[in-house]
Amino acid sequence: MTPRILDQSAKLKDVLYEIRGAALVEADRLEADGHRILKLNTGNPAVFGFEAPYQIVRDMIESIPTSHGYSDSRGILSARRAIVSRYEQVPGFPMFDPDDVYLGNGVSELITMTMQSLLDEGDEVLIPAPDYPLWTAMTSLAGGTPVHYVCDQEDGWQPSLEDIRAKVTDRTKAIVVINPNNPTGAVYSREVLKGIVEIAREQGLLLLSDEIYDRILFDGAEHIPLATLAPDLLCLTFNGLSKTYRVAGYRSGWLVITGPKKRAAGFLQGIQLLASTRLCPNVPGQHAVQAALSGVQSIDALIAPTGRLHEQRDAAWEGLVAIPGVQCHRPQGALYAFPRLDPEVYEIHDDGRLVYDFLVAEHVLLVQGTGFNWPTPDHLRIVTLPEARVLSEAIERLGNFLSSYRQ
State which amino acid sits at residue 164: I
Query: 2 in a domain, yes or no?
Result: no
* Nearest to 367, CA basis, from 5, 1, 23: 23
Query: 3 in a domain, yes or no?
Result: no
Q: What is the 3-state secondary structure (H, E, C) of 203-239?
A: HCCEEEEECCCCCCECCCCCCCCHHHHCCCCCEEEEE
Task: Give 25-63 pLDDT, tens digit per residue.
Answer: 999 999 999 999 999 999 999 999 999 998 899 988 899
SS3 134: helix
> What average pLDDT does the chain have?
95
Give exposure, 194-222, as e/b (b: 16+ Cβ within 10 Å).
Answer: ebbbebbeebebbbbbbbbbbbbbbeebe
pLDDT at 340: 97
Which of 6-15, 157-166, 279-288 is least confident?
6-15
Let me know: does 314 contact 391? Beta carbons within 8 Å. Answer: no
Mean pLDDT calculated for residue range 289-317: 95
The residue from 275, 294, 313 where one domain ends is 294
**Residues 230, 372 within the same domain:** no
pLDDT at 295: 82
Query: How many structural domains are present in the chain?
Result: 2
Query: 5 in a domain, yes or no?
Result: no
Task: Give 127-165 pLDDT, tens digit per residue.
Answer: 999 999 999 999 999 999 999 999 999 999 999 999 999
pLDDT at 1: 75
Mean pLDDT calculated for residue range 215-234: 97
Spatial separation of the C-alpha atoms in residues 117 and 146, rounded to whole Å: 16
Contacts of 269 (CB under 8 A, 6+ apart): none
**Residues 231, 102 within the same domain:** yes
Inform me whether the pLDDT recorded for 205 exceeds 90: yes
SS3 252: strand
**Residues 246, 147 within the same domain:** yes
The residue from 253, 278, 294 where one domain ends is 294
Question: What phi, psi does 175 have (nearest 5°)?
Answer: -120, 130
**Residues 92, 129 within the same domain:** yes
**Residues 306, 344 within the same domain:** yes
Confidence band of 7 (pLDDT split at 50, 70, 90):
confident
Inform me whether the pLDDT recorded for 183 exceeds 80: yes
pLDDT at 60: 87
Confidence band of 330 (pLDDT split at 50, 70, 90):
very high
**Residues 27, 75 within the same domain:** no
Let me know: does 205 contact 219? Beta carbons within 8 Å. Answer: no
Query: 4 in a domain, yes or no?
Result: no
Kindly report the CATH number assigned to the domain that includes residue 269: 3.40.640.10
Which of 20-29, 111-120, 355-364, 374-383 is least confident?
20-29
State which amino acid sits at residue 209: S
Kindly report the CATH number assigned to the domain that includes residue 358: 3.90.1150.10
**Residues 269, 131 within the same domain:** yes
pLDDT at 21: 79
Confidence band of 220 (pLDDT split at 50, 70, 90):
very high
**Residues 208, 333 within the same domain:** no
Let me know: does 337 contact 309? Beta carbons within 8 Å. Answer: no
Query: 104 in a domain, yes or no?
Result: yes
* Nearest to 90, CA basis, from 192, 198, 239: 239
The residue from 294, 319, 349 where one domain ends is 294
Contacts of 54 (CB under 8 A, 6+ apart): none
Query: 203 in a domain, yes or no?
Result: yes
pLDDT at 304: 97
**Residues 152, 62 within the same domain:** yes
Residue 373 belongs to what domain range?
10-50+301-404
**Residues 97, 232 within the same domain:** yes
Query: 384 in a domain, yes or no?
Result: yes
Query: 1 in a domain, yes or no?
Result: no
